[in-house]
Structures are given as structure tokens and as C-alpha cells.
Structure 1
Amino acid sequence: MSSLDGLPTFRTVRQDYQHLEQSGTIVGDTAQLAVVDALDRLIEEIASKRLASKSSALGWLFAKRKPTHEPVKGLYVHGGVGRGKTMLMDMFFERVTVKRKRRAHFNDFMADVHDRIQKHREMLKRGETKETDPIPPVARALAQEAWVLCFDEFTVTDIADAMVLSRLFSSLFSEGVVLVATSNVAPRDLYRDGLNRALFEPFIGILERHTRVMALDGPTDYRRRNLDRMQVYISPLGEDADALMDEAWEAATAGHVTRQERLAVKGREVVVPRANGTAARFTFADLCEKPLGARDYLAIAAHFDTLFIDRIPVMGQERRNEAKRFILLVDTLYDQKMRLVASAEASPERLYAGTSGTEAFEFARTASRLTEMQSREWLDAAATRAGAD
């Protein structure tokens, strides 16, 4: 362990994990420790590969033939929601000592891939390339940008993704890319019951050959356990409410790295100010004072299972547009059975002060749903939904 600006830094994932355990931030878990040790071994293998690559780059000075090296086998960790997968990925990504590394949600990565494929086809039409197959050049470009790829929430639901995965990852792995991924499901359960799944199945074998598959199983949903102790609807607003929201956020994210994310929605981007795995945090202004609609809220619900909303105000006639968006937002969260943690100026039934227009009538439903989403029954159903994803 060393220190940077007075904050402890750790050389290994295990050191970081043990520090969190000793400080009481987390409870030690044998299944997590097995993944911790696997991540540390992978970091060592990647470091050795880097040194070997540097040596072989000068191999022509000393031998006619470059030495060959076995490719580094990545890691695929699957387990239920709240098992600490994102926390462990945070630790790994921070400590893997390569410059060319990339971390992304799998769906965002595949959107980028499809954009690149389309651009290559346009170049082919213009006569700017002679490669008729876009997959190899796209894979080469991706490998040049990052040879360690880290995916949060690896899942396959889109047939367009399913159709290109085998060839894309065959090319990526042949370029030496190392994959580290977390998922709620084992490789064999990816794209289960998907359209034309037989065409997708070769990818499963490719994935299993190039990664070590580990199950992070266990009965404890740590995020759920931590949130169960917290108030999920906090009112009125003020410093105390802000502090309680921060405390709940730290409980839900285990105090680990949060970052801004961007979700692609029909050629636009929805900015997620703070995200950690499947938890996201917005202010009311982020979600309801900007021109967002149903597609945007559905995209958020597709990426996350726990949503924090800070500082929901009382809305009157002058805020009818914001009220309309808030009604739509709550309907979406309710339909998708998401966990909601919110701070608000007033209790749910007092959040809309207008007396005319459809908003006054519709907000009665919104208030009822906000109240229901605080109940133990709702949180149990939300946990079941998250674990099934």
C-alpha cells in the first residue's frame, strides 16, 4: 500500500478488498475473495504479457524468429444482482497497468460497433476501402484502441448483436484482446430463447475458450441489504435530506467508483451524471427539466435497476411540463419494477399543487405509486425483477 494525496492506494485487488473489510465498509465473502484472487492473477498475467511484447518487439536484433506467447485468458464473472460484481470490476480496472484499456456497458459497446460497421460500408461505397467485410477492420481498430476490454452487465437481447458476436470476438481475440466481463447470467444462458439462437451459439464456445468463467453465487444481495436499512423516500428537503441521500447512495454502491455515463437513444445521448453498476443517480432537474421522453426513461430503466432522484420540488401550474415528465417517469419506473430512492419537498400526495388540467387527475396515480414503491412488498418485487435480468 502507498499513499497519494493522503489517500491510501493499493497494489493489489486483495489489499483493497481487505482494507474495505477491515474498515467495515463491506463484509468478507468467500465467493468474492475467489474472484479477487482471480483478478489479481489476471493483472499479473497482463503485466507479464506487456513485458514479453516489449521484448519481442526487439527480437529481430537477437534472433531470426520472434518468441511466441500464449494469449492471456480473460475472466467472465456471473452472479445475481447486488453480489459485488461492479465493486470488483472497479478494483480491477483501477489496478490493471495498461494504457489501452476500455470499460463500457456491453450495450453501449455494441452500439459503437454497429456505428463503425455502418461507416465502413459507407467507405466501401465511396471506394475508400477494398475490404468488403467490415468485421476485421472494425476489430483491428478496436484492438488498437484497447487490448483490455471490460464490460459491465454483459447481456445479449438484440438480434443484430447476436448475429455479429461470433465473428467480431473471434477477430478481437485473434488480435490479442483480453476480455473481463460481469453478467447476471452464465454464458450458456446468454440470449436464451432469442430469435435464431442457433446462429448465436458458436459465440458461447468462443467466450468460454477465451475467458475463465466464475460464478459469484450466494444468498446475500449486499445492495438490497444495505438499502433495507435506509429510508427510501426522504422529505422535506434540506441538508439533512441531502446527507441521507448521500448515505443511501454510499450504501447502494459500497462507496466505490461512480462515473458519468452516456446512453445512446435514437441518435441522441442521455447523460447519467452518476452511475455505479446498475445504480444511477440524477437530480429532478436532470430528468424532468430537460426535454426527455418515454424512450429516454425506458433506456434508463433498461440499464439500471436502482434509481436515485434528488430534490423533487412541489409542482404547480407553472410547472405543468415538468409534472407531465415526472408522471411519465414514475409510470416507467413502476412498470419496470425499479427500486427508487428519492428526496422530495413534500409527501407524494402533496407534490402537485395545481388544481386544474389533466396533471391534477393523473398525479393522484403518481402519488399512489410513489407510496407503494416505498413498501416492503415493492422492494421484494423489485429485487426479484433485478435478479431475473
Structure 2
Amino acid sequence: MTSRIRSAYDIRVEEGVLNPDPAQAPLIAELERLEEDLAKKGFFGAQPEVRGLYIWGPPGRGKSMLMDLFVASTPEPRKERAHFHAFMARIHGLVDQWRKGDARARKAVFGAHKGDDPIPPIAALIASEARLLCFDELQVTDIADAMILGRLFDALFEKKVVLAVTSNRAPDDLYKNGLNRQLFVPFIEEIKRRCVVVEIDGARDWRLDRLKGSPVWFGPGPTEHAAFEALWTDLRGGMHEAPTHLEVLGRDVVVERTAGGLARATFEALCGRPLGPQDYLAMAGRFHTLFLEGVKTLGPERRQEARRFVTLIDALYEAKTRLVIQADAPPEALYPTGDGAFEFERTVSRLQEMSSASWLEAAAHA
């Protein structure tokens, strides 16, 4: 009997949504194994312990796409799909709730728990919501995350929660050179014990191939809009779209349309409201590719939007985030006059560079 993940993959290949890649075969086999193990029942109907998956490799090899297919196709009813940073933001929020709440407030959220340690009640809450936790882009750069992760996942694993995660780093490279890393190493060892580690490292970056074979600057009009839309659909490759929440200086910054490391937003959403450098840096650090549509020709009366656009492009450029734009005019005609028009010429130069195949190639290997 063909597994659900295999059927979903084969259908997308037949439809031309995906190109078959032999390098993905070991991962598909492990996803089939995980699907089968999650369906097994232990003695008297109890859930057995199931080894999860730690999937790592360079960007553009299909990790997020295959994870999306797996989550959509698995019959496991209690499952959560999230970006790792969003999950950790929630965990920090729950820790804060526990510490600030009195006994009644704690019980309302976490149920009955003794003691003042927030980790056991948080683990119990997460385990009550999901047996299968699926995360994108696990990376640890924050000591606060590093200190929580080991204890939290020890508790989750004890409750037979199954982890499936993607990362650009091998487990042994997580939190590399981080402060007090020795305290984080037991978590790495636990991950390797509780998960099958699969490296996916095909020679081709499918996403980069598609970008290099297409324009990344689209003009006005129905034909250009259709081509912009087609490239988004092609790169998304069937991945589910969902909003992403970024915590920036205590604020919740929402990017409404995201799929794995892809983000899509309008010019008005990013530059027509009061966002600043930290917001754009957070976006550039979170996404490898941004689709920006509806970029207007700006006059002197929209100098604030022009200034924000300059800041956005600077953040994307420095982070080597790839950019696909649909605009009303070529770069040199977007902001010809007004305060800061002279400085805008540097942005014009960067936009032209970011549209080149050589820059896209360099960004992919940054």
C-alpha cells in the first residue's frame, strides 16, 4: 500500500508542480517510516514511543516543501506546524504568563500544577495540544532559548511528543560557539537519540534554478502580474501559505503570506506603515526570498515611504535575501525627485545588482 506522503509527492510530480530529485529519496523514505510509526498502537491502545526526524541541508533542497506535504497528508490528528522562532516566542510568552500569574491565573491556562517551575506545566500544555511537532528552520542563537530547550524537550519527549524539524545546520553545529554552549550539548545528544538525522544535500538548488531562469523584476500590467504570480506559485511548490509572526522589540510584526522561507507582501504593507530597521532586519533574517508587489512610483509627498523602502532594501541586501519585485516602473524611475532622491540612487544600484544572476548565485551560497 502506497503511503500518503508518497502519494502526495507522486501526484505533484505528475502535475508538474515538482521535479523529481533523487537526493530527496532518503527523506521521503524516512517520512514514510514516520507516517507508519505514528499509526502504530502499543499494548491496550497506548501510544508507543516514536523516533522523530531531524532534516538538515542547504536551502532550496525541498526540506520545507516535503515537511508541508507530510503534515498535510499524515492522518495524525494532533499535530502542529510552525516556524521554530514562532514556537519559541510562544514558549517565552508562556513562561512569562506563569511567572506573573497568581494561582488562579496559572490554573486557568495550565491546569493544576505544583511548584514554581514553569517548564513542566508548559510541556504538559504543549503535549495536550499536539503529539507531533513539526518545525521549520531550527537554529539557536539566543542563550535564553538555549537554556530552555533542553529541559522543555526532555519533558515533551517523556510525554511521547514526536519532533520533526528542518534546519540548515547539522545537529552538532547548533548553537556553535554560543555562550555556555556546554549546557546546550545534552539537548543535541537527546535530539540525536530521539530523532533520525537525515541530510538532504542534492547538487541542485531548485529554487535558485527557477529564479535564475526567470526575471525577478516585473512591471505593471496583467501580463507582468500573471508572471509574478506564476513564479510565486512555482517557487512555493505546493507549500502551505500562512502568516508569520515576528517578535521585534516586544512588538508582533506579522507577514501575512509566507511559505517556509518564502515571504510575500505588498509595498503598502511593508513601506506604507511605520516599520523601522529592526523590523526589516528581522524579516531579512527570517526569509531567504521576499516577493514584494505593488511598488509605486513615488513623488516628493511620499518621502517617508521612499525612506522606508531604502531601509528595507539595505536590510535585504546585507542579509543576502533574494528579492522578486512587481513595480510600476524600473528602479531608476521609482523616486526621481524629493528629499533623499540623491541617496535613493544607491538603492537603485542595489536593486539592479540584486536582479542579476550572479547576485542570486552569490546570495544562495552566503
State TM-score, norm by structure 2.
Answer: 0.93
Quote the residue 1:191 is aligned against: 175
CA contact (8 A) 2:86 2:244 kept: no
Aligned equivalent of 1:297, options 251, 271, 280: 280
User: Are 1:21 and 2:13 matched, yes or no?
Assistant: yes
Aligned equivalent of 1:172, options 141, 156, 171: 156
CA contact (8 A) 2:40 2:48 kept: no
Quote the residue 1:205 is aligned against: 189
AA partner of residue 73 (structure 2): R
Equivalent runs, 1:240-251 vs 2, <5 Å: 240-251=223-234
Equivalent runs, 1:218-257 vs 2, <5 Å: 218-235=202-219, 237-257=220-240
Deviations 1:98-130 (A, max 9, x none): 332111111111111111112111236999664
Any idea what SS the aligned residue of 2:365 has? helix
User: Are 1:35 and 2:21 matched, yes or no?
Assistant: no
AA partner of residue 296 (structure 2): P
What is the deviation of 1:252?
A: 1.7
Any idea what SS the aligned residue of 1:149 has? strand
Aligned equivalent of 2:243, options 239, 257, 260: 260
Quote the residue 2:110 is aligned against: none
Question: Would the alpha carbon gap of residues 362 and 100 (structure 1) be closer, same or farther in structure 2, given more than 3 Å must change?
Answer: same
Work out the CA distance in 1 between the residues paired with 2:244 and 2:322. Answer: 19
Structure 2: state its 5+ residue gaps: 107-112
User: Are 1:274 and 2:266 matched, yes or no?
Assistant: no
AA partner of residue 326 (structure 1): F
Any idea what SS the aligned residue of 1:176 has? coil
Equivalent runs, 1:346-385 vs 2, <5 Å: 346-354=329-337, 356-357=338-339, 359-385=340-366
Deviations 1:150-194 (A, max 9, x none): 000111111111111111100000011000101111111111111
Where relative contact order (Cα < 8 A, 6+ residues apart) is larger, the structure is: 2
User: Are 1:143 and 2:135 matched, yes or no?
Assistant: no
Work out the CA distance in 1 between the residues paired with 2:98 and 2:104. Answer: 10
AA partner of residue 22 (structure 1): E
Work out the CA distance in 2 between the residues paired with 1:241 and 1:127. Answer: 54
CA contact (8 A) 2:294 2:328 kept: yes
Deviations 1:119-149 (A, max 9, x none): 1112369996641211111111111111110
Work out the CA distance in 2 between the residues paired with 1:271 and 1:111. Answer: 13
Deviations 1:78-99 (A, max 9, x none): 1110000111011110122233
CA contact (8 A) 1:31 1:216 kept: yes
Any idea what SS the aligned residue of 1:264 has? strand
* Higher alpha-carbon Rg: 1
Root mean square deviation, CA, Å: 2.0
What is the deviation of 1:77?
A: 0.7
Quote the residue 2:40 is aligned against: 48
Work out the CA distance in 1 between the residues paired with 2:241 and 2:204. Answer: 22
CA contact (8 A) 1:20 1:26 kept: yes
**How many residues were matched structurally?**
360
AA partner of residue 246 (structure 2): L
AA partner of residue 369 (structure 1): R
Aligned equivalent of 2:326, options 343, 353, 364: 343
Work out the CA distance in 2 between the residues paired with 1:117 and 1:257. Answer: 29
What is the deviation of 1:204?
A: 0.6
Work out the CA distance in 1 between the residues paired with 2:336 and 2:105. Answer: 62
What is the deviation of 1:11?
A: 6.1
Deviations 1:219-273 (A, max 9, x none): 11010011111101112x1111111111211222224322222222223222212
CA contact (8 A) 1:139 1:171 kept: yes
Work out the CA distance in 2 between the residues paired with 1:28 and 1:335. Answer: 33
What is the deviation of 1:376?
A: 2.2
Any idea what SS the aligned residue of 2:298 has? coil
User: Are 1:157 and 2:141 matched, yes or no?
Assistant: yes
Work out the CA distance in 2 between the residues paired with 1:174 and 1:294. Answer: 42
Any idea what SS the aligned residue of 1:151 has? strand
State TM-score, norm by structure 1.
Answer: 0.88
Quote the residue 1:7 is aligned against: none
Question: Would the alpha carbon gap of residues 76 and 344 (structure 1) be closer, same or farther in structure 2, given more than 3 Å must change?
Answer: same
